[in-house]
Amino acid sequence: MTRRWLQEMLYLSLLLITALVAGWFIGHVDRWLFITIAIYLAWYIFNLYRLERWLGHNRGLNIPRNIGIWDDIFNNCYQLRKRERERKWRLVQLLREIRDSTAAMPDGMVILDRVGEIRWLNEAAGRLLHLRVPQDVGQRLANLMRHPDFVPYLNSNRYDEPISLVSPFSRGLYLNLSIVPYGSDQRLLLVRDTTRLHRLEAMRSEFVANASHELRSPLTVMRGYLDAMREDGRLRQMWGKPLDEMHHQTARMTAIVSDLLELSRLETELRQAPYAPIDIAKLVRGIRDEALSLGQGPASILLKVDSDLFLLGAEHEIYSAFSNLVFNAMKYTPVEGSVTVTWARESEGACFTVADTGIGIPATHIPRLTERFYRVDKSRHRDSGGTGLGLAIVKHVLQHHGAILAIDSEPGHGSRFSCRFPQERVSRTADHVGTA
C-alpha cells in the first residue's frame, strides 16, 4: 500500500473518530456517523465527476488540482494521456512516412479486403491500373479491371506465382501482378510495369531468331562441302580425322541453330488454337524407334502407354518435348540400365513420365536444368552432343499446353521427368477437338 493510500485511510479514520466523539457528547452517534460518511461519499462522487469531465471533454493536458489520493489519480491519468498522445503522434509520423515512401515507389500497391474491395492504393497503382481516389476506394477491383486472365487469378486464392498481362487500358503497356495475402483475410496487390523488360526480351528473341536464320545457310553450305570432301578417297586418306571432327562440329552447330529457332518460335507464339487430338501411344512408339536407332544407352525402352488416352495439343511441339526427354535418358543411361516411358491418366489429368536408371543429377542443379545452355557437367554434355537447349524447349512446350514439369533425381540412382497435363488437355477419343 502506497503512502497516499495510508494517508487516505488515516483521514477516514480521523473523520470517523471525530463523528463518534461528537455523537458521544452530543448524542445520536448513528446520525453523526451517517452524516460523516455521506459527506465523504459526496466528496468522492464530486471528484469522480471532475475526472470524467476532464477525461471526456477536456482535450488539453491541464490537470485539475486536488488533494490526497485524488491528486495521485489525476496525475496518473495525466501521465497515461501524455504517453497516449506521444504514441499517437509517433504513429501519425510513421503513417506519413509510409504514405510518402509508397507514393514515391514506381510499383503499384493496392490493399484489398476479403471480398476484393479496394481499401487503399498508392499513386503508381492508380496510374498503372487507371484507378481513381477516392472514387474507386470501396469498389471491387474485379469490376474495375475486367481482364480475362486477372479475374480468375484474383479469385483463385492461389498466389504462388505472379501473372503477366497486357494492360487493358494502355496499348503496349505490360504489367506483372502478384498478390500477397496477409493479416485477417486481407491481400496486397503489387503491380509492376514490365514494358521495358518485355521489349528487351522481344529484341533478344528477334536477335536470336535472325542470327540463327543467318547461320543456317552457311552451315548448310559448309556441311555439304564437308560431306563431299569426306567421300574423296585421297582427301580422306590425308585429312580423315580433321574432316570427321569438322563434320561432327558442323552437325552440332546445326543442331544448336535448329534448337534456337524452335525455342525462339515457342517464346514468341504464346498460344495456338485450335489444338487437335494427338495419339500419344503412336507418337511414343515413333520416338522409341528413333531413340534406339541413335545407338546410345540401353538396347530397349519399356513402354507403359494408355492407347486410349489422347492429348489435345500441337503435335510437333509435343513430339519435340517428349523426344528431348527420351533422348536425354538414353544418353545418360548405361547399356546395362533401363529407360521406362509412361503415359497414364491421373486424378487431375494425365502424366507423361520418362524414368531411367542412369547417372542421376545432384539436387542443387535441378532448379536450373531448364535454363538455356545450363549444363551439370560441361565436358560430359559436350561429349554427348547435346545443345543445352532441350529442357528449355520442354519447359516452353509444356507452358503452351498448361502443363508443368516435375524432376526427381538422385546421383547414381537415375532420374524421373514427369510432364503433368491438366484435365482439359486430356481426351479419351480421337474425335474430340479442343481449343487452347
SS3 state of residue 228: helix
Pairing of strands 426-427, 310-313: antiparallel
Choose the weakest-confidence range: 196-200, 318-322, 334-338: 196-200
Overall pTM > 0.75: no
Interatomic CA distance for residues 175 and 173, integer angstroms = 7
Between 347 and 275, where is the model more confident? 347
Per-residue pLDDT at 432: 46
Neighbours of 148 (CB within 10 A): 8
Per-residue pLDDT at 362: 87
54 contacts 74 by C-beta, under 8 angstroms: yes
373 contacts 348 by C-beta, under 8 angstroms: no
Contacts by 357-360, CB closer than 8 A, 24 or more apart:
357/333, 357/413, 357/414, 358/297, 358/329, 358/332, 358/333, 358/334, 358/414, 358/415, 359/332, 359/333, 359/411, 359/412, 359/414, 360/409, 360/410, 360/411, 360/412, 360/413, 360/414, 360/415
Fold classification of 105-193 is Beta-Lactamase (3.30.450)
Interatomic CA distance for residues 331 and 292, integer angstroms = 11
CATH superfamily, domain at 276-427: Histidine kinase-like ATPase, C-terminal domain (3.30.565.10)
Calculate Rg over the CA atoms of the chain. Answer: 40
Q: Where are the beta strands (DSSP E) in 186-266?
A: 186-193
Whether residue 384 has pLDDT greater than 80 = no
Q: Express each pLDDT in 173-211 by its tens digit.
A: 899 999 999 887 889 999 999 888 888 877 877 777 777
Q: Tell me how far apart the 2 most distant CA atoms of the chain are, in Å.
A: 150
Query: Which CATH number is associated with domain 199-268?
Result: 1.10.287
For the chain, the domains span 3-100, 105-193, 199-268, 276-427
pLDDT band for 418, please (50, 70, 90 cuts): very high
Whether residue 420 has pLDDT greater than 90 = yes
Interatomic CA distance for residues 189 and 137, integer angstroms = 14
Q: Express each pLDDT in 87-130 by its tens digit.
A: 888 888 887 887 777 777 788 889 898 888 998 888 888 888 88
Which residue carries 468522492 as its cell? 44
Q: Express each pLDDT in 223-280 by its tens digit.
A: 888 888 888 877 777 888 888 888 888 887 887 777 777 777 676 665 555 578 899 9
Interatomic CA distance for residues 94 and 119, integer angstroms = 19
The helix or strand, by DSSP H or E, that contains position 286, with its residue range, turns out to be: helix 280-293
Q: Where are the beta strands (DSSP E) in 280-414?
A: 302-305, 310-313, 339-346, 349-356, 404-409
Mean pLDDT of 52-71: 71
Which residue carries 542421376 as its cell? 360
Whether residue 77 has pLDDT greater than 90 = no
